[in-house]
């Protein structure tokens, strides 16, 4: 930082002498370059109030003697603070030490702060007088002025204090700032948050408040204008009140008044009926949302049940040796049928499967059999084995292990919040070994089944698998698996996965909520890798992870179907 040639000393605080000074002249004592496009200036005197005591600093302009094209150059003052007795003004241009400048206060900001600060004195003094509570915190925010008291105030007590404050405003009592002598100060009762020594500035409103304060105030209580407590809450064992005075209170009233009239017009009710009318709307909306949630759950349940041929649970219970008649066979039109021993090769029309060179001709069913079985349609699944009886599933192992009909399912559905998405994922987990559900955030786009997803809810990208021996889990390029479940392994749908598009979101990069679940696979690892690849966030347990990612739908599908986890 480059320093000037003048010694830094305390400047005269004009704002303490007269809060109504809007313009003043001063000499620059120091100008320090902050090396970020701003400069800090110390003046021999200033009317700019430095931040402190709960009141924000003033802003405004400084106009120097230097000229640009014949006109004085002004610098904006954006912040003012006091350090070690020196008041520093942050400006957006350099001024030379020794230069005379004109300072102008942003009065549109200063005067409402004077009103609010004086109103705070009135309210704090009255609360102490009535209820013996001290003001332990004060802050002028961008929206409200907040006051913290060390005791809990009831609603009736707040209303009474507010009424008395406004009575003090109507009385138009003079507001004075004095510097009492040490003995006089010692005998005086005044509010202060800390012990003080030296010259102490006391702001006095006779009959209402005496307070040690360095802030800016109006000359009489009448200038404060209306004082309105707009909110109250319990806070740290006491009370926090939010209030507005004068110009700010009027601005707040206008906004709320316009809102109430607008609501009254929208609901076609009188002003006094607005609250009841809105409550009725809220109750009706809650009922409709509950009904909508129930309908969505029913829709999601129905959608989930179409996966794996509509089985109640998308796995089969394997038996030791050859499966017998009566086990789940090929489903017709998305439902499961029970085969029997009477079915023969080339005559499987109701969802049965025979060994050898059988042709499966039923409508809406997939069949995967051992040997040279031909598959005639797509839809529900049936798995056969060598020497299997009609309608049976050939995967068998002693002890009756559970074998899922699908390796994994990845589904996309619009307009699902996280709880619904979690429930949908649980439904999908009933259909597959690994299930993932995604829902785009924001307004859904339109898409009608393209690329890897199968369109409006039921489509899948599948091919016929074949049986093979050995305990292997080799994922194909789309995440398929060859599984050995005792008697032999099967590849469900080639890739071993189903990708379902809901109403579909346009294949653009966007944010998706997700829920991933499995009764078998540790999905915590999957979730972590998903977040790393797609700049997501989330977490969970080994059985369920939730979060969001930013990606294209097709990229998510590709990642999910290729993921191995081993």
- The per-residue pLDDT for 405 is 55
Does pTM surpass 0.85? no
Question: How far apart (Å, rounded) are the C-alpha atoms in residues 544 and 432?
Answer: 14
- The per-residue pLDDT for 202 is 93
Domain boundaries, the chain: 12-105, 111-253, 273-315+406-566, 322-395
443 beta partners? none
Q: Cα 50 to the chain's mean position, in Å? A: 35
Question: How far apart (Å, rounded) are the C-alpha atoms in residues 354 and 557?
Answer: 35
Return the CATH number of 12-105, one of 2.40.50.140, 1.10.357.10, 1.20.1270.10, 2.40.30.130: 2.40.30.130
Question: How far apart (Å, rounded) are the C-alpha atoms in residues 315 and 310?
Answer: 11
pLDDT reading at 195 higher than 80: no
- Check residues 264 and 462 and name the one with the higher pLDDT: 264
Band (306; pLDDT cuts 50, 70, 90): confident
- The per-residue pLDDT for 198 is 76
Which residues, other chains included, contact 294 with Cβ-Cβ below 8 Å and sequence gap of 6+?
none
pLDDT reading at 522 higher than 70: yes
Token pair 């990229």 is found at 555
Which of 86-100, 368-382, 453-467 is predicted most confidently?
86-100
Tokens of 354: 């025979």
Token pair 């194909």 is found at 476
Q: In three state form, how does the secondary structure of 191-209 look?
A: ECCCCCCCCCCEEEECCCE
Question: How far apart (Å, rounded) are the C-alpha atoms in residues 430 and 418?
Answer: 19
Tokens of 18: 């007269």
pLDDT reading at 564 higher than 90: no
Return the CATH number of 273-315+406-566, one of 3.40.120.10, 1.10.10.10, 3.40.50.720, 3.10.310.40: 3.10.310.40
Residue 408 sits at the vertex; the CA angle it makes with 326 and 323, to the nearest 5 degrees, is 20
Averaged pLDDT for residues 495-510 = 60
Q: In three state form, how does the secondary structure of 315-383 look?
A: EEECCCCCCCCCCECCCECCECCECCCCCCCCCECCCCCCCCCCEECCCCECCECCCCCEECCCCECCE
- Check residues 144 and 398 and name the one with the higher pLDDT: 144
Neighbours of 382 (CB within 10 A): 31
Nearest in space to 558 (alpha carbons), one of 458, 446, 475, 466: 475
Percent of the chain past pLDDT 90, that is, above it, reads: 57
> In this structure, what is the dihedral angle of CA atoms 223, 152, 207, 169, given to the nearest 10 degrees?
20
- The per-residue pLDDT for 68 is 64
Return the CATH number of 111-253, one of 3.30.420.40, 3.30.980.10, 3.90.420.10, 3.40.50.720: 3.30.980.10
CA atoms within 13 A on the CB side of 478: 21
Q: Cα 419 to the chain's mean position, in Å? A: 15
Question: How far apart (Å, rounded) are the C-alpha atoms in residues 12 and 29?
Answer: 12
Neighbours of 156 (CB within 10 A): 8
């Amino acid at each position: 930082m480059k320093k000037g040639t003048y010694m830094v000393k305390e400047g005269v605080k004009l704002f303490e002498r007269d809060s109504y000074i809007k313009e003043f002249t001063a000499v620059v004592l120091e100008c320090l370059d902050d090396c970020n496009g701003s400069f800090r200036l110390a003046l021999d005197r200033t009317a700019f109030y430095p931040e402190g005591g709960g009141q924000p600093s003033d802003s405004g302009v400084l106009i120097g003697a230097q000229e640009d094209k014949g006109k004085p150059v002004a610098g904006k003052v954006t912040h003012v603070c006091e350090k070690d007795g020196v008041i520093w003004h942050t400006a957006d241009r350099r001024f030379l030490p020794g230069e005379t400048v004109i300072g102008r206060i942003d009065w549109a900001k200063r005067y409402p702060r004077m009103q609010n600060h004086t109103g705070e004195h009135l309210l704090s003094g009255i609360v102490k007088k009535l209820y013996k509570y001290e003001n332990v915190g004060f802050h002028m925010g961008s929206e409200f002025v907040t006051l913290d008291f060390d005791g809990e105030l009831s609603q009736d007590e707040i209303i009474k204090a507010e009424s008395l404050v406004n009575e003090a405003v109507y009385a138009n009592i003079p507001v004075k700032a004095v510097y009492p002598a040490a003995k006089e100060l010692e005998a005086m009762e005044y509010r202060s948050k800390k012990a003080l020594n030296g010259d102490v500035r006391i702001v006095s409103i006779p009959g209402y408040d005496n307070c040690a304060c360095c802030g800016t105030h109006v000359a009489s209580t009448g200038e404060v204008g209306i004082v309105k407590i707009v909110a109250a809450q319990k806070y740290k064992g006491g009370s926090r009140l939010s209030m507005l005075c004068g110009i700010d209170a009027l601005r707040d009233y206008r906004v709320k008044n316009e809102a109430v009239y607008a609501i009254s017009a929208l609901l076609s009710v009188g002003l006094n009926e607005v609250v009841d009318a809105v409550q009725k709307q809220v109750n009706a909306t809650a009922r409709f949302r509950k009904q909508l949630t129930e309908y969505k759950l029913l829709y999601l349940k129905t959608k989930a049940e179409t996966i794996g041929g509509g089985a109640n649970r998308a796995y089969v219970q394997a038996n030791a040796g050859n499966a017998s008649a009566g086990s789940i066979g090929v489903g017709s039109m998305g439902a499961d049928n029970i085969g029997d021993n009477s079915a023969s090769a080339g005559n499987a029309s109701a969802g049965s499967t025979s060994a050898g060179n059988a042709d499966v001709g039923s409508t809406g069913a997939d069949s995967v059999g051992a040997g040279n079985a031909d598959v005639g349609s797509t839809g529900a699944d049936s798995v056969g084995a060598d020497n299997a009886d009609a309608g049976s599933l050939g995967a068998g192992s002693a002890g009756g292990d559970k074998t899922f009909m699908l390796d994994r399912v990845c589904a996309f559905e619009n307009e699902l919040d996280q709880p619904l998405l979690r429930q949908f994922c649980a439904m999908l987990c009933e259909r597959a070994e690994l299930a993932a559900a995604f829902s785009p955030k924001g307004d859904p786009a339109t898409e009608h089944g393209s690329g890897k997803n199968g369109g409006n809810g039921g489509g899948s990208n599948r091919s016929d698998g074949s049986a093979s021996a050995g305990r292997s889990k080799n994922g194909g390029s789309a995440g398929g698996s060859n599984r050995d479940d005792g008697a032999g392994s099967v590849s469900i749908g080639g890739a071993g996965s189903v990708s379902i598009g809901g109403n579909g979101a346009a294949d653009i990069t966007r944010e998706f909520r997700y829920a991933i679940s499995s009764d078998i696979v540790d999905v915590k690892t999957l979730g972590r890798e998903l977040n790393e690849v797609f700049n997501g966030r989330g977490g969970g347990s080994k059985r369920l992870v939730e979060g969001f990612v930013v990606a294209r739908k097709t990229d998510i599908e590709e990642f999910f179907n290729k993921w191995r986890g081993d």
